[in-house]
Amino acid sequence: MTQTSENSVLLEVRGLIKRFDDKPVLNGVDLVLPEGQIKMVMGPSGCGKSTLLRCINRLIDPCAGQVIFRGEDVTRADTDVRLLRQRIGFVFQHFALYRHLSALDNVTLGLRKLRGMSRADAVDKAMAELARMNMAEHAAKYPSQLSGGQKQRVAIARALAMDPAVLFFDEPTSALDPLMSREIVGVIDQLCADNVTMLCVTHDVDLARAIEGNVVFLDEGMVRAEGGANALFEDHDDPRIRAFFSRDR
Ligand code: ADP
Ligand code: MG
């Protein structure tokens, strides 16, 4: 991932609106993601977090608003959607690994099919990314032989192998037990230290607090608050936000 000047913006969402049939989900979301930083998107279940990610990478089309990706409006009809998706590495709650492929081949697949790399080059690149995730020794294993935390590390290695401009996470810890969640918190923390640009949708208050990234709190389709996770947690005057951050505690 190339590092650019400190304050440049990778991604800007402006007034994003999405309805399903007549049901409003996103009612004008604004968000700025600077290069090299992490932004966490939090909020109650069903508030539109996954929809926001899917609108940005054009898995679904927003009804109105703009998404500016490195200066280019990618909501335009003539956007090269395939190229856009290659620039966004996606990590899902349930890992989405191919179970008939080893960890190594899960990572090499995209390099060979989308990048046209030779088997040898793809293996070199994949092994480097697996090593970065501390998974090199498990490269030959199949997903069924890996723990949830290890599967998630393979999924992150697979996303990073494509040299994306940004990594999107959709609830990266919610399928994991507390110990494995901490393992993934450690990985995301390491990626922060490496200045990887990330947009992370999560319910996980512990994750947000541990990472200390900037949090956008989404509710009723709008950004209701923005700030450091710990500041939002400690003393927000909006009772809905306080309730969210103190639930299950
Ligand atoms: P979150 O990720 O914050 O839990 P989602 O973005 O998944 O929320 O969903 C937001 C709302 O949009 C929910 O009410 C959900 O039922 C609805 N929704 C999501 N995707 C679709 C779809 N493809 N068709 C109709 N409704 C949808
Ligand atoms: Mg979701």
- Beta pairing partners, 32: 12
Q: 110: part of which helix (H) or strand (E)?
A: helix 103-113
pLDDT at residue 169, rounded to an integer? 97
pLDDT at residue 249, rounded to an integer? 42
Q: Is residue 161 one of the residues assigned to a domain? A: no
From the alpha carbon of 47, which atom of ligand 1 is closest?
3
The residue whose C-alpha atom lies closest to atom 16 belonging to ligand 1 is: 46
Ligand 1 environment, Cβ below 6 A: 20, 25, 45-51
* Ligand with minimal distance to 169 CA: 2
The residue whose C-alpha atom lies closest to atom 21 belonging to ligand 1 is: 20
Q: Is residue 65 one of the residues assigned to a domain? A: yes
Q: Is residue 125 one of the residues assigned to a domain? A: no
Q: Is residue 29 one of the residues assigned to a domain? A: yes
The DSSP bridge pattern shows strands 38-42 and 198-201 to be parallel
Domain count of the fold of the chain: 1
- Beta pairing partners, 23: 20
pLDDT at residue 203, rounded to an integer? 85
Q: Is residue 224 one of the residues assigned to a domain? A: yes
The residue whose C-alpha atom lies closest to atom 1 belonging to ligand 1 is: 46
pLDDT at residue 6, rounded to an integer? 55
Q: Is residue 197 one of the residues assigned to a domain? A: yes
Q: Is residue 70 one of the residues assigned to a domain? A: yes
Residues of the chain with pLDDT under 50: 1-2, 248-249
Q: Is residue 39 one of the residues assigned to a domain? A: yes
* Three-state DSSP class for residue 2: coil
Q: What CATH number does the domain containing 93 carry?
A: 3.40.50.300
The parent domain of residue 220 ranges over: 9-97+168-248
ipTM above 0.95, yes or no: yes
